[in-house]
């Protein structure tokens, strides 16, 4: 049970890292540091979008952009952190003292 919970917690942390990476790279594109005409950059953005879009699109339906800023990554990260905390509490409850 403990190993499964640890793997799920690790997967959630990895997904949070992927979301942060996507946000950082999108900022680099917006500020002109990274050019999407480069095939490697375009492939990286497409890969990150494929990984995050299933969750982000569902949340974007309920969280509108505020002042042109997409707050969806923040909402998803907070939700994943709460889920990660709940899983940790489950692990602590399952361990006998």
Domain ranges of the chain: 2-94
pLDDT at 6: 83
CA 45 to chain centre: 14
pLDDT at 92: 74
Do residues 36 and 42 lie in contact, with contact meaning Cβ atoms separated by under 8 Å? yes
Query: pLDDT per position in the chain (97 positions), as tens?
Result: 678 888 988 999 999 999 999 999 999 999 999 998 999 999 999 999 999 999 999 999 999 889 988 999 999 999 999 999 998 888 777 766 6
Q: Which of 62, 46, 51 is nearest to 15 (CA)?
A: 51
């Amino acid at each position: 049970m403990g190993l499964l919970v640890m793997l799920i917690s690790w997967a959630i942390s990895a997904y949070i890292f992927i979301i942060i990476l996507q946000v950082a790279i999108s900022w680099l594109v917006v500020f002109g540091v990274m050019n999407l005409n480069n095939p490697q950059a375009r492939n990286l953005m497409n890969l990150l979008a494929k990984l995050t879009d299933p969750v982000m699109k569902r949340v974007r339906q309920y969280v509108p952009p505020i002042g042109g800023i997409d707050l969806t990554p923040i909402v998803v990260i907070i939700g994943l952190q709460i889920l990660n905390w709940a899983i940790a509490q489950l692990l602590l409850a399952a361990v006998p003292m």
